[in-house]
Every structure is written in structure tokens, then in C-alpha cells.
């Protein structure tokens, strides 16, 4: 990570206007989106959108041709090109031919993508953005920091200053007054412009129609008042049929701004009359710019299902801290990272892709059903394949893969830090490591790892067996969680076995793009676990469970290691997370809770992988309630805690404020215990609470349940 | 469906009225033109785009009665108008949306330039949702389809919802029961 990038993160984090604006918005967005989708089957809707867009992405060339034919039959001129340069040249040539002096534009990300405005301005043509947000950033000389709300990073005072300069008059920072000024100023520009440039939200091949969606009404004026209209459209906006616009128009306003429908939707098909009775000179530019290449990439084709609603930004815990000028280029946030990697080149996405914490919020809300976190990992993988791993990372991976050596090393390290360790925490680390303990204490390394403690646990000999997949944190830092699980399973009549050859689940390597290392981890674990004749493979770490259930398969698929895929599938079918297995055993009557327990107030933190990848959230809550805890939900209970595995080590400055929000939400419940199912979250949240000298206990669900069964 | 439409449209700051007869609607419109101070002066005109509602109405008389009310919807007049009146073809209940074939430029000018847009629509033109609307109106026949849901709005400064940016700041919707029968 370059120093400049790190500094830009730092500046954004210290910009309280920015973080407050984005924070408030993201909190409000969640509920307004939910209200807009009331009574709508979101899953079915997004499946429909994914089908429509995916099918279109498979036929970009034929749909472009059909669109062009139909639009031309209605009097439009259609220009198809793969080159951003040619788009600009076409528009300039047209402007010169028509003696165009002034252009008004409605919002078009495609025009931002090709940097059209500066090009036209350099060639002597005045370009005026008319979308209020776009106009603000045009006056400020900036790029949009959000795809739907380009100027979300600016305050009313900053806007007032920009407008005052523009109209040569000292304006107040009253928002309705500022909007009136914009109306007055831009109205004149609309009336005198000789060309209107727009984008399009959808292009319909079978009719040659373009669909434009706005709230301000500027697109209606841009397409009505000037005699020439140019629409710049990325070919991913194509759909085959007119009815295909229904699911998109249903989802787009709800996901973008929590509206049932935007104020204006215009469907324009061919030429329409101008105000002087002549017919509109309509030019539609279908721009490829690597979209066909994306469509041909089996991994990235799904990114063309994006409808540009920006909901992936609105729910992102990192975006709401740093905004789009740090997290993105022209396109911002999660999808922006992916589009940047394609439209500007893989290398250009190198820094911003590292900002993704892999919490999965975006995947859950994406109306195009795009697996954004997975595609960002794929970018990481390709970067590593192209650029190689750093030596430090290589060393780290070889270290974690040798479990005993890794523990011995950590243990030695923790012993040398002995004066720093107190009550099970390391509260300060010296020098360059100090960032890591500034916002949360780290756990001390267990004297004896779980794998060795396990041998000392006295278990009854039982017929039914469960193999325990421990994962690094329970093994080295929280062996007591492992002991709790053995105790509970024994009560259910299940004996735990510990396959000694098990190693790192590969998440560390995978999330850093080192898929070859992750694949070797997967192979070692498959070999270790298949030796045991156990009915279940249970893990108390959701990240490990996701690796066992999904990611081994996925890693092999990515690397085309076909011979291992079936073996990974067999393993996957046996793997279970702790709460799911215990729920099953309770339901089967094999575990019975002690009666009449009143264990006090508790709140529950949903871990990212458990909630969003494994879809487990009710199970631990039900178990805790049945045990006798009184559950109080915290605000944003399923928002990431900021741990993200090695993320909190690489970007502690971002991890820390995410954690602070989480801690505040926990405290606001007034519960004395916060439960969670992930040892990574335990490390983050327990460490954070310790730093704040809080009495609230952060504990793995397993430990809370251990003594509550008959 | 009317009640659903009304709820949804009012939720996005549109004003919804309902009259059984054309006469009632016309009275309401004249009252509005009066209250809004429509006059034969710049920025004070009202434009009324050609529509079926006007069938059987003597426009000349009406214009004499209300100085400043114009039926010649040019860009110059429309941009100097306070009120624009158009008749919409359909109303979509579940989003509170009005829809119109707006190929005629007068329709677009009258509904987008003035600060108040008064939209007339037949009560029998209510449809349930977007799919039913697209069954009624197709881009194959209509080169320009306009769908309007509430007045012009923005939240581009600090996410504060502000009504009336480039389009009308008031959308007044007038449902008329026997609007189409009279035409027939």
C-alpha cells in the first residue's frame, strides 16, 4: 500500500463531516430500504433481474445489433464502439458539425468513465452538469464520491461557498435556498444549450428504447429542450425485451434511495419533435470498453448484472468511514472496485480492493445478485498471480501452516512480551506493533494449545463420534471454548475426536489472494479429516466452517483442481457450525436444558460468515434463550465488528472505528454479556471492551451454554 | 385502487383531488389559477396543453376569463409559466404514478417547466401496477413515455429532501370520473 493511499485513508477518517454524513445516511438507508421493499419478494425479484441481465450479458453483440436496428428504424443514429476515445471523438465531431457551443448533461456514469467533460471543455465546448450533485462536484472540480449521490461528501457550507463563487453573490447555507439558486442558474443553461447529453439506465433491444430515471427532472429537460440529444450507454445496460424493464424499475429506486419509484421515468424510442417542430437529432452511443471481455470471463460475467443502485456502498462498513474518494476511482465502493479493475485495469484496483473487509453485507442486498466479495477475492487472486506474493506474506503462510511450530513461535513471542501480558490480555505492544493494541487488547497465547489440552480431557468412550475442527484462535488463544464444546457433545452422547494433522483452514491465504496456499491447506485438511470415521465435523469458528463447507470447493474450482472437488464436497456435507449442530441435538431430545434458569440480560452479535454465508442467526439466539438468558437486540446486530481476520492487522485504522461503533451498540443495550459464535469476533470485541475497561463480558456461545444442560 | 393511489402519491408530496364531473374539476382549476395569481405577465402565465378534457370547452372564452391562461404551449411561454396543465393517460395505483404518451412536445413542456404541474386523469384510467401499464402503453406506439411520481425532488445536499429542483415543485393531481364519457 502506497504511503499516499494510507494518507488518504487517514485524511478521510479524520474528516468528521464526511464520516458523520455517511454514517447518518447508512443508518437511515437501512430502514428506508426495508420500508420500500415491504410486501415484495426481494429474493424472487433479484433472481429475475439476475436472469434478465445475465442472459443479456451472454448476447451483448446480438442485442447491440438488434437495438441499433430498431432505434435506427425509429430515426435515431446508433454508434457502436469499444473505445472510449472513439466515443469522445464522435461527440466532438458531432458538436462541431452542429456548431454546438453549450452542452447540458444529465447524470451519466459512462461519461464519467471516459472523462468526457474535460475533453469537451479542452475543445472549447461549455459543458454544464444539471444533476444537482453532479453540478456541485463539477464546480468543485472533483469526481463523484457515490454513484447515486455524487456530492454526499460535501456539507451545505461547502456547497454554499461553491455556489456563491459561481453566481457572484454571498449565499446562505440554507438548503432549500441553495436548491432554488441551482434551479434558477441551470434553467437558463437548459434553455440556451444546443446539445443534451444523457446516459441511460436501461436500453431495450427489441424496441430500440432507452429508459431514463431521475428525481430532479433534469433528464426530461436535457432530452426535450436542445435539438440534439446524445445518449452514452454502456452495453451492460441492454436488456432483450420491454418487460425486462419491470424488475429493474421495481428494484432500482428501492435499492438506490428507498423510493417506490423515482419522480420521473422516461422511455424514449427514436426521434421526437423538438420545440420548433423539427425532429430531434438523436444519437445513441453503445460503448463496450471491455464489457464484452468481462462477459466472456466466467468469474466476472456476473458483474454485468449491476443496475448501478449503489446499495453495496450504502451498507458497507468501510465505505461509510472513508467514502468514495478513498474507496473507489470513478466507480466507488464494492462494485466500483470490480468495475475499476476492468475499466481502468487490474493494477488500478490494487489498493482499493484491499479495503474490502469481506463482511458480505453488499452481497446480501445486491439487487443484481452479484457476489461482490467473491469477485473482490478473485481480483486479489489475480493480482497475486500477476504480481506475486510479498516475501513477508510468503513467510507468514509457511509459518501458519506448520501448526506446532506456529504455536511455539507465538508462545515464545508472548513469553518475551510477558511483562505486557495481564489477566489474559496483551494491552500494549512496542513500537511498530503498537497500532495493533491501541484500540483493543490482544489475547495472550495459551500455555498449552487446545490440541495438547485435548489429550488430557477425560471423555467417555462413545459410539457416535464428532471430529472437532479447532481453527487457530481456539487452538492457541481460547482453548476453553474447545473444552466447552467437548463437554456439551459428551452430554449428547457424542465423543469428540481431534484429527491431529488438521491445519489452517486457508482463510488467511485465500483472503490475501494466495489461492495456491489455500488449496494446499484444503488438501491437508481433507486428508486429515477423512481419516476419522466421524459422523459430524464440527467447528466453532464460522470462518473455518465456511472454508470447510464452501471455500475448499470454490478454491479448487478457481484453480481447476478438479480431482479434489468431489472430496471437498464429501467433507462439506459433513461439516457443521456449533450452533446448528447443538440446535439439532436439542431438537432430537439428546440435549435438555436445565429448567428455570434466570441468567440475566444478554445481547447477541452476528458474525459475518455465520449470518450471511451460513445463514445461521436464529439458532444461537434460540439456544441462549432456552438456556435462560434474556435477549436484548443491539442496533445493527449483524454489522461487522471490524476484525476481518488479518484485515485488523493490515488496516487497524479502519478496524478500530468499526469496532467503536459495535462497542457503543453493545453498551446501549445495558446487557452484561455479549454472545457471539466466532472466536475472531471474541478477540476483537473482548479486546475492545478490555481497552475501555468495561465490565461487559464478550463470550463464545459455546461457553455460555456449557453448564446449562442437564 | 383510488385510495391506494392517493396514499402512495401523497406519501411523495403530490396533492390528490377527485371530482365526479368535468364541471367540478374546471371550477377547481379556475380557483387554483386565481389563487396562484395567474396573469398576463412574465412568470405568471398558465399553459394548458391540448387534451381531451378541453373537448367541448370554449378555449377562447376561458382565456378571456383568465388573462394569462395560454393554450399555445411554446418553450418561451412554458418557461414563463407558473402553472402547466396536462391530461395524463394512466394512473398507476401501487406507486402513485401518472403516465402519459408525451411525444407531443407541448405535453413535455407543460409538465416540466412550470413550477406547478396540474395533471388531469380519468378515474377509470387507474391501473394496478407497472406491468399492467406496460400492457396498455408500448414504446412501439409511443416514442416518448413519461411516468411521473410526485414533484421534482433532490437530496443531493446533505441528504436533505428538497422539493422542486428542475421540474415542478408542486404536483396537483385531479381525478375526474366522467372525463372520458363526455368524449365518447
Write out residues 186-245 of A within 8 Å (CB-CB) of B.
186-187, 190-191, 204, 207, 209, 215-218, 220-221, 224-225, 242-243, 245
- Mean pLDDT score across all residues of chain A: 93
pLDDT at A8 over 90: yes
Strand partners, B147: A265, B99
Phi-psi region of A141 (alpha: psi -120 to 50; beta: other; left: phi over 0): left
Does the distance separating the beta carbons of B112 and A216 come in below 8 Å?
no
Closest partner residue to B139 among A136, A209, A274, by Cβ? Answer: A209
B42 at the A interface (CB within 8 A)? no
pLDDT at A540 over 90: yes
Cβ–Cβ under 8 Å, residues A152 and A22: yes
B35 at the A interface (CB within 8 A)? no
User: What residue of B is the nearest CA neighbor of A18?
Assistant: B158
Does the distance separating the beta carbons of A273 and B105 come in below 8 Å?
yes
B12 at the A interface (CB within 8 A)? yes
CB contacts, 8 Å: A158 with chain B: none
Q: What is the pLDDT confidence band of residue A434, given thresholds at 50, 70 and 90?
A: low
Q: What is the pLDDT confidence band of residue A387, given thresholds at 50, 70 and 90?
A: confident
| Interatomic CA distance for residues A688 and A686, integer angstroms | 5
- b vs e for A34-67, b when ≥16 Cβ sit within 10 Å of the residue's Cβ? eebbeeeebeebbebbbebbbebbeebeebbebb
Q: Which pLDDT value is given to residue B182?
A: 47
| Interatomic CA distance for residues A537 and A465, integer angstroms | 9
Does the distance separating the beta carbons of A264 and B147 come in below 8 Å?
yes
* Residue B15 to chain A, least CA–CA distance (Å): 14
Q: What is the pLDDT confidence band of residue A545, given thresholds at 50, 70 and 90?
A: very high
Q: How far is CA B157 from CA A17, A173, A263, in A?
A: 13, 10, 18
* Residue A667 to chain B, least CA–CA distance (Å): 29
| Interatomic CA distance for residues A138 and A275, integer angstroms | 28
Does the distance separating the beta carbons of A259 and B139 come in below 8 Å?
no
C-alpha cell at A534: 466421524
DSSP line for A442-511 = EEPPPSS-HHHHHHHS-----SEEEEEE-HHHHHHT-HHHHHHHHHHHHHTTEEEE--TT----SHHHHH
User: What residue of A is the nearest CA neighbor of B13?
Assistant: A263
Q: Which pLDDT value is given to residue A431?
A: 47
Q: Which pLDDT value is given to residue A17?
A: 86
Mean pLDDT of A585-597: 96
C-alpha cell at A58: 451472454
Nearest to B29 by CA among B104, B80, B85: B85
Mean pLDDT of A312-321: 96
Q: Which pLDDT value is given to residue B184?
A: 39
Provide the percentage of residues in chain A whose pLDDT is more than 90. 84
Mean pLDDT of A295-324: 96
Does the distance separating the beta carbons of B104 and A216 come in below 8 Å?
no
Among the ranges given (A142-156, A294-308, A353-367, A485-499), the one the predictor scored with the smallest mean pLDDT: A142-156
B165 at the A interface (CB within 8 A)? yes
Listed as ranges, residues in chain B with pLDDT below 70 are 180-184
Output DSSP code: residue A594: P
DSSP line for A159-213 = HHHHHHHHHTS-----HHHHHHHHHHHHHHHHHH-SEEEE--SEEETTTTEEEEE
Instruction: Determine which of A22, A106, A215 to mutate to test the interface with B (most B C-beta atoms within 10 Å).
Output: A215
User: For chain B, how many residues are written?
Assistant: 184
What are A601-648's pLDDT values in tens digits? 999 999 999 999 999 999 999 999 999 999 999 999 999 999 998 898
What are A473-520's pLDDT values in tens digits? 999 889 999 999 999 999 999 999 999 999 999 998 898 888 999 999
| Interatomic CA distance for residues A211 and B117, integer angstroms | 22
| Interatomic CA distance for residues A267 and A66, integer angstroms | 17
What are A35-56's pLDDT values in tens digits? 999 999 999 999 999 999 999 9
Mean pLDDT of A545-566: 95
B155 at the A interface (CB within 8 A)? yes
CB contacts, 8 Å: B134 with chain A: 242-243, 245-246
Cβ–Cβ under 8 Å, residues A562 and A568: no
Residues 6+ apart with CB under 8 A from A40: A250, A254
B160 at the A interface (CB within 8 A)? yes
What are A216-253's pLDDT values in tens digits? 999 999 999 999 999 999 999 999 999 999 999 999 99
Mean pLDDT of A571-590: 97
Does the distance separating the beta carbons of A225 and B159 come in below 8 Å?
no
Q: How wide is the angle at C-alpha A255 spanned by C-alphas A254 and A258, nearest 5°?
A: 45
Among the ranges given (A165-174, A412-421, B16-25), the one the predictor scored with the smallest mean pLDDT: A412-421
ipTM over 0.95: yes
Three-state SS letters, A374-406: HHHHHHHHHHHHHHCCCHHHHHHHHHHHCHHHH
pLDDT at A207 over 90: yes
Does the distance separating the beta carbons of A264 and B12 come in below 8 Å?
no
Q: Which pLDDT value is given to residue A233?
A: 98
Q: How many CB atoms lie within 10 A of CB B111?
A: 29
Closest partner residue to A191 among B79, B156, B157, by Cβ? Answer: B79
Q: Is the dihedral angle over the CA atoms B163, B168, B169, B173 positive or is it negative?
A: negative
Does the distance separating the beta carbons of B134 and A243 come in below 8 Å?
yes
User: What residue of A is the nearest CA neighbor of B8?
Assistant: A260
Q: Are strands A673-676 and A600-604 parallel, antiparallel or unpaired?
A: parallel
Cβ–Cβ under 8 Å, residues B109 and B84: yes
Q: Are strands A126-129 and A195-198 parallel, antiparallel or unpaired?
A: unpaired
CA atoms within 13 A on the CB side of A667: 14
Cα radius of gyration (chain A): 28
Nearest to A624 by CA among A528, A702, A692: A702
Closest partner residue to B147 among A178, A215, A265, by Cβ? Answer: A265
Mean pLDDT of A536-544: 96
Does the distance separating the beta carbons of B168 and A217 come in below 8 Å?
yes
Residues 6+ apart with CB under 8 A from A140: A151, A154, A158, A162
Q: Are strands A575-577 and B162-163 parallel, antiparallel or unpaired?
A: unpaired
Q: What is the pLDDT confidence band of residue A417, given thresholds at 50, 70 and 90?
A: low
| Interatomic CA distance for residues A622 and A639, integer angstroms | 20
A150 at the B interface (CB within 8 A)? yes
DSSP line for A305-360 = G-----HHHHT-TTHHHH-TTTSBSSSBHHHHHHHHHHHT-GGGGHHHHTT-----
B7 at the A interface (CB within 8 A)? no
Q: How wide is the angle at C-alpha A278 spanned by C-alphas A90 and A268, nearest 5°?
A: 65
Amino acid at each position: 500500500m502506497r504511503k499516499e493511499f494510507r494518507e488518504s485513508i487517514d485524511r478521510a477518517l479524520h474528516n468528521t463531516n464526511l464520516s458523520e454524513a455517511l454514517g447518518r445516511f447508512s443508518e437511515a438507508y437501512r430502514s428506508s430500504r426495508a420500508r420500500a421493499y415491504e410486501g415484495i419478494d426481494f429474493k424472487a425479484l433479484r433472481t429475475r433481474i439476475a436472469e434478465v441481465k445475465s442472459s443479456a450479458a451472454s448476447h451483448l453483440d446480438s442485442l447491440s445489433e438488434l437495438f441499433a436496428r430498431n432505434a435506427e428504424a425509429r430515426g435515431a443514429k446508433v454508434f457502436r464502439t469499444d473505445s472510449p476515445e472513439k466515443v469522445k471523438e464522435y461527440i466532438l465531431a458531432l458538436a462541431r458539425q452542429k456548431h454546438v457551443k453549450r452542452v447540458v448533461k444529465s447524470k451519466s456514469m459512462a461519461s464519467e468513465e471516459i472523462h468526457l467533460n474535460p475533453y469537451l471543455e479542452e475543445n472549447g465546448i461549455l459543458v454544464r452538469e444539471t444533476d444537482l450533485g453532479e453540478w456541485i462536484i463539477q464546480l468543485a472540480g472533483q469526481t463523484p464520491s457515490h454513484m447515486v449521490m455524487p456530492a454526499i461528501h460535501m456539507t451545505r457550507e461547502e456547497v454554499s461557498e461553491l455556489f456563491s463563487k459561481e453566481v457572484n453573490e454571498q449565499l446562505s447555507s440554507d438548503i432549500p435556498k441553495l436548491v432554488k439558486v441551482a434551479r434558477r442558474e441551470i434553467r437558463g443553461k437548459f434553455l440556451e444549450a444546443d446539445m443534451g447529453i444523457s446516459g441511460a439506465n436501461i436500453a431495450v433491444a427489441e424496441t430500440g428504447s432507452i429508459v431514463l430515471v431521475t428525481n430532479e427532472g433534469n433528464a426530461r429537460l436535457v432530452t426535450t429542450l436542445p435539438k440534439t440529444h446524445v445518449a452514452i450507454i454502456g452495453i451492460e445496460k441492454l436488456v432483450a425485451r420491454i418487460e425486462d424493464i419491470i424488475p429493474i424499475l421495481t428494484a432500482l429506486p428501492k435499492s438506490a434511495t428507498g423510493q417506490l419509484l423515482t419522480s420521473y421515468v422516461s422511455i424514449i424510442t427514436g426521434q421526437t419533435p423538438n420545440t420548433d417542430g423539427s425532429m430531434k437529432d438523436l444519437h445513441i452511443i453503445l460503448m463496450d470498453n471491455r464489457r464484452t471481455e468481462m462477459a466472456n470471463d466466467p468469474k466476472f460475467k456476473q458483474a454485468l448484472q449491476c443496475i448501478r443502485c449503489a446499495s453495496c456502498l450504502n451498507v458497507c462498513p468501510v465505505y461509510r468511514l472513508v467514502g468514495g474518494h478513498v474507496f473507489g476511482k470513478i466507480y466507488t465502493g464494492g462494485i466500483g472496485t470490480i468495475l475499476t479493475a476492468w475499466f481502468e485495469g487490474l493494477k488500478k484496483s490494487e489498493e482499493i480492493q484491499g479495503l474490502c473487509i469481506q463482511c458480505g453485507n453488499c452481497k446480501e442486498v445486491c439487487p443484481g445478485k452479484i457476489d461482490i466479495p467473491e469477485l473482490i477475492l478473485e481480483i486479489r487472486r489475480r493480482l497475486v498471480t500477476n504480481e506475486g506474493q510479498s516475501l513477508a506474506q510468503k513467510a507468514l503462510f509457511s509459518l501458519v501452516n506448520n501448526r506446532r511450530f506456529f504455536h511455539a513461535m507465538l508462545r515464545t513471542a508472548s513469553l518475551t512480551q510477558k511483562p505486557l501480558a495481564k489477566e489474559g490480555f496483551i494491552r500494549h505492544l512496542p513500537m511498530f506493533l503498537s497500532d495493533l493494541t491501541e484500540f483493543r487488547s490482544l489475547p495472550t497465547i495459551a500455555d498449552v494449545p487446545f490440541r495438547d489440552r485435548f489429550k488430557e480431557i477425560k471423555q467417555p468412550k462413545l459410539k457416535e463420534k464428532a471430529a472437532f475442527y479447532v481453527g487457530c484462535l481456539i487452538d492457541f488463544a481460547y482453548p476453553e471454548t474447545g473444552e466447552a464444546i467437548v463437554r456439551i457433545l459428551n452430554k449428547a452422547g457424542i465423543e469428540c475426536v481431534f484429527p491431529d494433522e488438521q491445519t489452517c483452514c486457508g482463510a488467511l491465504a485465500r483472503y490475501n489472494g494466495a489461492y495456491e496456499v489455500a488449496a494446499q491447506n484444503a488438501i491437508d485438511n481433507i486428508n486429515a479429516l477423512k481419516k476419522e470415521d466421524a459422523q459430524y465435523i464440527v467447528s466453532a469458528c464460522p470462518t473455518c466452517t465456511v472454508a470447510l463447507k464452501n471455500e475448499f470447493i470454490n478454491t479448487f474450482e478457481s484453480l481447476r483442481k478438479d480431482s479434489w472437488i468431489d472430496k471437498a464436497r464429501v467433507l462439506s456435507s459433513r461439516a457443521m457450525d456449533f450452533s446448528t449442530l447443538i440446535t439439532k441435538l436439542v431438537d432430537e431430545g439428546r440435549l435438555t436444558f436445565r429448567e428455570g434458569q434466570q441468567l440475566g440480560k444478554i445481547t447477541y452479535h452476528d458474525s459475518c460468515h455465520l449470518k450471511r454465508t451460513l445463514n445461521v442467526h436464529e439458532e444461537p439466539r434460540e439456544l441462549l434463550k432456552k438456556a435462560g438468558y434474556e435477549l436484548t437486540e443491539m442496533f445493527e446486530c449483524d454489522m461487522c465488528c471490524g476484525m476481518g481476520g488479518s484485515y485488523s492487522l493490515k488496516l487497524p485504522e479502519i478496524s478500530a472505528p468499526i469496532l467503536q461503533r459495535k462497542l457503543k451498540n453493545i453498551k446501549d443495550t445495558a446487557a452484561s454479556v455479549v454472545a457471539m459464535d466466532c472466536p475472531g469476533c471474541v478477540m476483537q470485541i473482548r479486546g475492545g471492551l478490555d481497552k475501555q475497561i468495561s465490565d461487559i463480558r464478550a463470550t463464545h456461545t459455546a461457553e455460555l451454554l456449557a453448564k446449562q444442560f442437564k | 385502487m383510488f385510495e391506494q393511489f392517493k396514499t402512495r402519491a401523497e406519501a411523495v408530496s403530490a396533492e390528490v383531488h377527485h371530482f365526479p364531473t368535468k364541471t367540478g374539476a374546471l371550477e377547481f382549476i379556475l380557483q387554483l389559477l386565481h389563487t396562484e395569481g395567474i396573469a398576463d405577465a412574465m412568470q405568471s402565465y398558465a399553459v394548458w396543453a391540448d387534451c381531451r378534457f378541453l373537448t367541448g370547452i370554449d378555449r377562447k372564452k376561458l382565456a378571456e376569463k383568465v388573462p394569462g391562461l395560454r393554450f399555445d404551449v411554446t418553450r418561451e411561454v412554458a418557461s414563463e409559466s407558473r402553472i402547466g396543465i396536462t391530461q395524463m393517460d394512466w394512473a398507476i395505483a401501487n406507486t402513485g404514478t401518472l403516465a402519459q404518451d408525451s411525444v407531443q412536445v407541448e405535453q413535455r413542456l407543460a409538465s416540466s417547466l412550470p413550477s406547478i404541474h396540474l395533471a388531469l386523469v380519468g378515474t377509470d384510467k387507474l391501473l394496478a401496477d407497472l406491468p399492467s401499464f406496460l400492457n396498455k402503453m408500448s414504446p412501439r406506439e409511443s416514442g416518448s413515455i413519461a411516468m411521473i411520481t410526485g414533484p421534482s425532488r433532490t437530496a443531493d445536499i446533505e441528504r436533505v429532501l428538497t422539493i422542486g429542483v428542475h421540474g415542478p415543485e408542486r404536483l396537483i393531481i385531479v381525478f375526474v370520473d366522467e372525463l372520458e364519457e363526455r368524449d365518447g
